Structure 1
């Protein structure tokens, strides 16, 4: 007794391959095959490129935040002063810092003084936010101390100040220049408070990778900031760094308990949470839109297979007559569609990965062709268009493309398998 051949037998692959490479003169639909192939390729390429830019933008945004800002900021709940103002100064900041530093998972605690000033050099001036911090604490900030575009010597912070590259460009300052800082809350006299104006040497110019930080931030020695802003013996807040910033919420309770009853905390997720949630929503929407694009490209496979089934009606009738089962006919045309989806997906993955790897020269070329100004860091916050190639993003794109390609192929393949051989050969 003759046995049915195993699924996807060699002869099924041979017939499918012959149909795929058939010329127009032989009744083939190679043009539709190429259109389907190109459509799947471009759709997968667009999906991987978008996902990689999405991942890169989030990573760049988070890394620049964590590289130059506190993971957790500890404040005092505040007390009302004699004139009705709210005073949040931390008198026992050394004790607070020592207790918080003992919390498991905390890597560094630094007292800070913060204040607003006007920084000027010759006829140029700009607003700035001063961070008073100890030199060793500032050296542990990777976004500041390990900046690739930094100039000067950070070890000389006790002799001057460090300014962002954006401020340096705005007022035309460089390492070695002497700038003036003006604070409205300066010297207290019998006639009121007069502005305080001090001159400092610029010993370090940094680039933290974020436009808003580089454009506004100035670092000053902690003791000098206490004197400049009339904060003798106190600190405005504690800057806390942790081992795992992404899991910072798990440490907030322990930090609060260590700091004491008057403490409150503000994490980097609290400050950037709105933006991160907006990114997540945008990610989901973009994935859905691009999934529809992949589906549209996969529908080209259906069109090509329907034309192939129509043109190969006589062949189907002959194959059924000589003994091929409905399952074999279905698998032949399934291979035709699935092979197109597989090759298109592979080519799209290659193009998408190359785009993510070489995005910097590609974007530089686009910027050159457009005459510059394509990427405005003052709007987007970071200086370049980032891309990060993640295996999960590639696998999700591949799974979506192959799943849709295989699924839509089933319908025309089933139609071919159920074709009546008598009707197919009636007029032959």
Structure 2
């Protein structure tokens, strides 16, 4: 006596394949099945494309922050100086920087002088935030000291230009947005106007000084390129009346994503009157908004995948109805309920597998070739689809990650397999006597 065949035996696959490739006139795959196939393909494509853009946008957003800004900013608590003014400057910035630099995980510590001025050139004006920094420290900022996106010679930063009109003009670095707003290029001269300038017996008069544009950088974020300029540290101390002091310390760490782990040790090394401000705290609102948007988009697109998978039920029910006579014959020939269930389960799940595979291919191609695709869309729409002034970065990024692809595949196949069970059970429980009564 032979045992019963194992589940998903070859004959079950053979019967399912005959049903799938049968013509519609023979009661084969219906139009609804093709609709469900296309629906699952588009839903998986949309899910993978959205996840790739989400990952790419967050990576680009974080990279532009940590690549052009301090990971941790150290500043002093407010105090009243000898003149009766409230200040937050750091007098012992060199000693404080040495202590912070000794903290494990800290890669760079740089004193900064910061101030807001009005830049003018050729009758055009622009508000600028000036960072006073040493040339050596500026050369270590990844997004600023990038020869592929910058113009000019970084070694000329801080070096007197020695022109006839301004023999003592010092070279500064401008963001590409500032340079575009002022209409200047490398080698041109700009004037910086500070309202808190020269102190005289009659009060404070604005300070106006000309500087040579030695370097133009593109950090990758519109708000940085449009508002930032770098000035040599010692020159910034003179210009902003910060002789012998710094406004803050710019600290970078080895692992920016784990910056909260370094912050307490940095604050302790800086001293009891020092405070820290991490990049996650300054940009926490953006990161939380991205996280909420990511979760909402995943839920919405998961519903779309579920809707597409539900179409399999309609197509499979129609297939079961058309194959009622065949089911009755198969049951009388000895097929068990489980065998019939598996036959129609294969029919339904095969649609989900093919649709998922096609969606993965389309989604991966979209993520890989997003730049030419986006350029084509931008050209067809006449330009202006992506406004960096609103979105902060200059292009739509996409980063294809294995976990995103696997999550999309698992979601699509899981839903496809689950919804297929119900019409397959209906086929398995069909009474062969009722199926063959009118035959």
Name the CA distance, whole Å, in 2 between partners of 1:84 and 1:74.
24
Structure 1 counterpart of 2:240: 229
CA contact 1:106–1:240 (8 Å) conserved in 2: yes
Structure 1 counterpart of 2:381: 370
CA contact 2:30–2:318 (8 Å) conserved in 1: no
After TM superposition, give the deviation of residue 28 of structure 1 in Å: 1.5
Structure 2 counterpart of 1:412: 423
**Would you say 1:243 and 2:258 are equivalent positions?**
no
Residues paired across the two proteins, number? 428
After TM superposition, give the deviation of residue 33 of structure 1 in Å: 2.0
Name the CA distance, whole Å, in 2 between partners of 1:288 and 1:380.
23
After TM superposition, give the deviation of residue 146 of structure 1 in Å: 1.3
Name the CA distance, whole Å, in 2 between partners of 1:386 and 1:83.
51
After TM superposition, give the deviation of residue 147 of structure 1 in Å: 5.0
Q: Tell me, which stretches of 5 or more residues in structure 2 are unaligned?
A: 160-170
**Would you say 1:26 and 2:26 are equivalent positions?**
yes
**Would you say 1:347 and 2:341 are equivalent positions?**
no
Q: Tell me, which stretches of 5 or more residues in structure 1 are unaligned?
A: none
SS in 2 for 1:338: helix
After TM superposition, give the deviation of residue 30 of structure 1 in Å: 3.6
Structure 2 counterpart of 1:336: 347
SS in 2 for 1:386: coil
SS in 2 for 1:323: coil
Structure 2 counterpart of 1:425: 436
CA contact 1:129–1:216 (8 Å) conserved in 2: yes
Structure 1 counterpart of 2:87: 87
Give the TM-score normalised by the residue count of structure 2. 0.96
* Alpha carbons of structure 1 residues 275 and 147: separation in structure 2 relative to 1, 3 Å: farther
SS in 1 for 2:132: strand
**Would you say 1:302 and 2:294 are equivalent positions?**
no
Structure 2 counterpart of 1:386: 397
CA contact 1:330–1:417 (8 Å) conserved in 2: yes
Structure 1 counterpart of 2:219: 208
Name the CA distance, whole Å, in 2 between partners of 1:161 and 1:342.
59
SS in 2 for 1:186: strand
Structure 1 counterpart of 2:155: 155
Name the CA distance, whole Å, in 1 between partners of 2:307 and 2:32.
14
Structure 2 counterpart of 1:288: 299
Tell me the C-alpha RMSD between the 2 structures.
0.9
SS in 1 for 2:143: helix
After TM superposition, give the deviation of residue 29 of structure 1 in Å: 2.6
Candidates 244, 249, 260, aligned match of 2:271? 260
Name the CA distance, whole Å, in 2 between partners of 1:398 and 1:289.
16
Question: Deviations 1:6-34 (Å, cap 9, x if unpaired)?
Answer: 10001100110111111111011342221
* Alpha carbons of structure 1 residues 67 and 147: separation in structure 2 relative to 1, 3 Å: farther
Name the CA distance, whole Å, in 1 between partners of 2:83 and 2:158.
34
After TM superposition, give the deviation of residue 81 of structure 1 in Å: 4.0
After TM superposition, give the deviation of residue 35 of structure 1 in Å: 1.1
Structure 2 counterpart of 1:74: 74
SS in 2 for 1:355: helix
Q: What pairs up with 1:392-407 in 2 under 5 angstroms?
A: 392-407=403-418
Name the CA distance, whole Å, in 1 between partners of 2:315 and 2:33.
6
Name the CA distance, whole Å, in 1 between partners of 2:346 and 2:55.
34
**Would you say 1:121 and 2:142 are equivalent positions?**
no
Candidates 199, 202, 206, aligned match of 1:195? 206
CA contact 2:111–2:248 (8 Å) conserved in 1: yes
Name the CA distance, whole Å, in 2 between partners of 1:95 and 1:78.
19
SS in 1 for 2:3: coil
Name the CA distance, whole Å, in 2 between partners of 1:178 and 1:242.
35
Structure 2 counterpart of 1:180: 191
CA contact 1:22–1:30 (8 Å) conserved in 2: no
SS in 1 for 2:144: helix
Name the CA distance, whole Å, in 2 between partners of 1:85 and 1:211.
35
After TM superposition, give the deviation of residue 404 of structure 1 in Å: 0.1
Question: Deviations 1:368-427 (Å, cap 9, x if unpaired)?
Answer: 000000000000000000000010100000000000000000000000000000000000
CA contact 1:144–1:208 (8 Å) conserved in 2: yes
CA contact 1:147–1:208 (8 Å) conserved in 2: no
Give the TM-score normalised by the residue count of structure 1. 0.99
SS in 1 for 2:390: helix
Structure 1 counterpart of 2:164: none
Name the CA distance, whole Å, in 2 between partners of 1:147 and 1:20.
58
**Would you say 1:4 and 2:4 are equivalent positions?**
yes
CA contact 1:117–1:129 (8 Å) conserved in 2: yes
After TM superposition, give the deviation of residue 83 of structure 1 in Å: 6.6
Name the CA distance, whole Å, in 1 between partners of 2:299 and 2:220.
31
